[in-house]
Structure 1
Amino acid sequence: MSNLQEIGLTELPSLSKLYLNAAATAARRRILGGSTGEPALPAVSYHVRNVRADVDNLTAYQHLVGESASDTLPAGFVHALAFPVSMSVMNRDDFPLPLLGMIHLRNRIEQKSPLHFAKSLDVSAWSENLTGHKAGTQVDVVAEVTLHATGATVWRGVSTYLAKGVFLPGIDKSGNHQAATGREDFTPPDPTALWRIGPDIGRSYAAVSGDFNPIHLSVLSAKALGLRGSIAHGMYLASRALADVGPAKGDAFNWDVAFEAPVFLPARVALDISTTPSGSGAWARSDYTAWNPRSGRRHFTGRVAALD
């Protein structure tokens, strides 16, 4: 990040405006064609200072994903808070991949300490690791949240996205495709929970997160981007699983999730959570798996582990 040009934003950008701009950029690229030069990520980072959570929005988020009411920001809510800054990176004209239709592959989040809703935060984001995938090209978008008063990093997230069908010149498509590896045969265990997810969850999650990506909002808008129907937000699913892990996770943890198959709406999703104690008998980690209870197809896997 030290070699990146820092671009300061006066406030959190509007995600709806960013998506409109992304649609305009996509139309422009279809007409004019993409860049013919060597593909590269923009050497910039975006940051916004003095960000505070909206209490009503926090309450609505907690209710939607099943988190207990608390003055502490859930890790998934912090991701949503930082997401407009991450989107600003991907929404640039010189970003080599199309934003619309991007597939969410993985998240790795480090929650270093609890965040009270009244704390003033600084948010930064940048992109890295433009690599090949057998289905296209993937990229990591990094977001960091620091305390405005001290500069201490309290939350860090790395989101991996795939631009399916986009093969950039000079990017080896046989390269790093983490999400396609290690998928052993899956035999569903007895679930610890069964979710019933309605057709409007995409719009409900968009209302509390600001993420109005068309693939989540309706059948028509999803079909316009090549899907057979609308799908649930990956971070809604991951955050709901984190809520199901419960208070055992404590205040500081690593949280990983890898997405394998989309959840088309409406849906029933089975979830299994297994907990592993440490040598002292305290909680060490929880592993979770979610799948389609009818077909047995796995949707995502994840782990929440205590920080050392």
Structure 2
Amino acid sequence: MSRHWHDLHSPASRASLYLRAASKRKISADRLPGDGLRCLIGVQPDNLAAYRRLCHFADDGRLPATYPHVMAFSLQLQLMTADDFPFPLLGLVHLHNRIEVLRPLGAIEGLRFAVYTDNLQAHAKGGTFDLVTEAEDGIGLLWRETSRMLVRGLKLEGGADEPAEDEPAALPEATRWYADSDIGRRYAKVCGDYNPIHLSAASARLFGFPTAIAHGMWSKAMALAALRGHLPHSGYAFEVGFRKPVRLPSEVVLSASEAGPQGTLRLDGHSGVLHMVGHWEPL
């Protein structure tokens, strides 16, 4: 596909983007737009410090591998609330997230981001597409994220069966943490993701959840921070699939392989609830 790029001086305000998201409730088409957005976005030191505290990352002079996702979040919102984007933002479900760290994320004051959508496919519950975010410095590409999103109710030709989800093997416990009832609001304040399903039980019930649920990218960031000694500084991918949501408040247990060039992880709750599975590997 020949992609048409729009270069921005800065993303639109999040308040205006959320108003646009709230106004769209129906699927309007079954094709992804061919446009992408690009923008230079600077690191905000106070926000970075707050993110490190929230997700338990050490201040080692490098950006946490999940932090460029936070930097690019408004740009992602702008892409998915544009007039030509066919799906309502508030109905999307984040199924899977892969982050690739191609080069070390140190000594960075800003990054040039590019965001676009790709790979629309049929799914048993509708359809999926990939939201791709890439970050460059003055040398070239150094970070990439691919988020697979589910569009419930989308009808595409050549329907698909729901993919089988294998139960991952038991692993040694690495750590555990308590996701308290306000972690969704605290994450939203730092990262800008104010999806109502994360903010309170009352707002979550409007979307069919009995309680608020933790942000998937908070769970991934907490796992990445806990496993920082397992990973190199660069040249790796860290990939997770989101299973059952973490209902707030609750305790979760992270289990993982031993440190090494590749390994697997899982995040479990009580009563046998599996929240997240994943792995890391060299690029």
TM bucket by the smaller chain? over 0.9
RMSD over aligned Cα, in angstroms? Answer: 1.9
Q: Are residue 183 (structure 1) and residue 166 (structure 2) matched?
A: yes
The range that moved more, 123-132 or 298-307, is: 298-307
Q: Distance in 2 between matches of 1:111 and 1:190?
A: 26
Whole-Å separation in 2 of the counterparts to 1:245 and 1:138: 29
CA distance in 1, matches of 2:62, 2:169: 37
Partner of 1:163: 151
Per the alignment, residue 8 of structure 1 pairs with 7
Q: How far apart are 1:210 and its partner, in Å?
A: 1.1
Separation in structure 1 between the aligned mates of residue 180 and residue 4 of structure 2, nearest angstrom: 43
Q: Is the 8 A contact 2:130 2:148 kept in 1?
A: yes
Letter in 1 for 2:113: V
1:248-288 CA-to-partner distances (Å, cap 9, x unmatched) read 31211111011111111111111101125xxxxxx312321
| 2:66–2:99 contact (8 Å) kept in structure 1 | no
User: Are 2:177 and 1:208 equivalent residues in the alignment?
Assistant: no
- Name the TM-score, length of structure 1 as normaliser: 0.86
AA partner of residue 261 (structure 2)? A
- Cα separation, 2, equivalents of 1:196 and 1:154: 33
For residues 123 and 157 of structure 1, what CA distance do their matches in structure 2 show?
11
Match of 2:158 among 172, 176, 201: 172
Which 5+ residue runs of structure 1 have no aligned equivalent?
Answer: 277-282
Letter in 2 for 1:301: V
Q: Does 1:124 align with 2:120?
A: no
Choose from 274, 279, 282 the match for 1:303. 279
* Residue identity opposite 2:143 in structure 1: W
Change (3 A) 1:190 1:251: closer
Which of 238, 241, 249 is 2:231 aligned to?
249
Distance (Å, rounded) in 1 between the aligned partners of 2:59 and 2:49: 7
Match in the other structure for 1:59? 49
Q: Following the alignment from structure 1 to structure 2, what is the Cα–Cα distance between the partners of residues 13 and 259?
A: 29
TM-score scaled by length of structure 2: 0.93
The equivalent residue for 1:98 is 88
Q: Give, in whole Å, the separation in 1 of the partners of 2:121 and 2:154.
A: 10
Q: Displacement, 1:115?
A: 2.0
1:45 to 36, 53, 76: 36
Q: Is the contact between residue 188 and residue 296 of structure 1 (CA under 8 Å) also seen in structure 2?
A: no
Structure 2: tracts of 5 or more residues without a match: none
Are residue 80 (structure 1) and residue 80 (structure 2) matched? Answer: no
Mapped partners of 2:208, 2:125: distance in 1: 15
Match of 1:235 among 217, 236, 240: 217
Q: Secondary structure at the match of 2:166?
A: coil
Matched AA of 1:145:
A
Counterpart residue identity of residue 127, structure 1: T
Residues in 2 aligned to 1:274 and 1:198: alpha-carbon distance in whole angstroms: 26
Of 289, 303, 308, the residue aligned with 2:266 is: 289
1:262 equivalenced with 2:262 (yes/no): no
Distance (whole Å) between structure 1 residues aligned to residue 45 and residue 181 of structure 2: 26
In structure 2, C-alpha distance between the alignment counterparts of 1:172 and 1:81, rounded to whole Å: 37
Determine which of 137, 142, 150 is the counterpart of 1:154.
142
More off after superposition, 127-136 vs 82-91: 82-91
- Cα separation, 1, equivalents of 2:68 and 2:20: 24
Q: Percent identity between the aligned chains? A: 33
Matched, 1:193 2:175: yes
How many aligned residue pairs are there?
Answer: 282
Q: Distance in 2 between matches of 1:251 and 1:192?
A: 20
- Deviations 1:48-92, CA, capped at 9 Å, x for gaps: 12x111111111111111111132111111111122222222112
- Shift of residue 187 of structure 1? 6.9
In structure 2, relative to structure 1, the CA distance for the partners of 1:217 and 1:117 (3 Å cut) is: farther
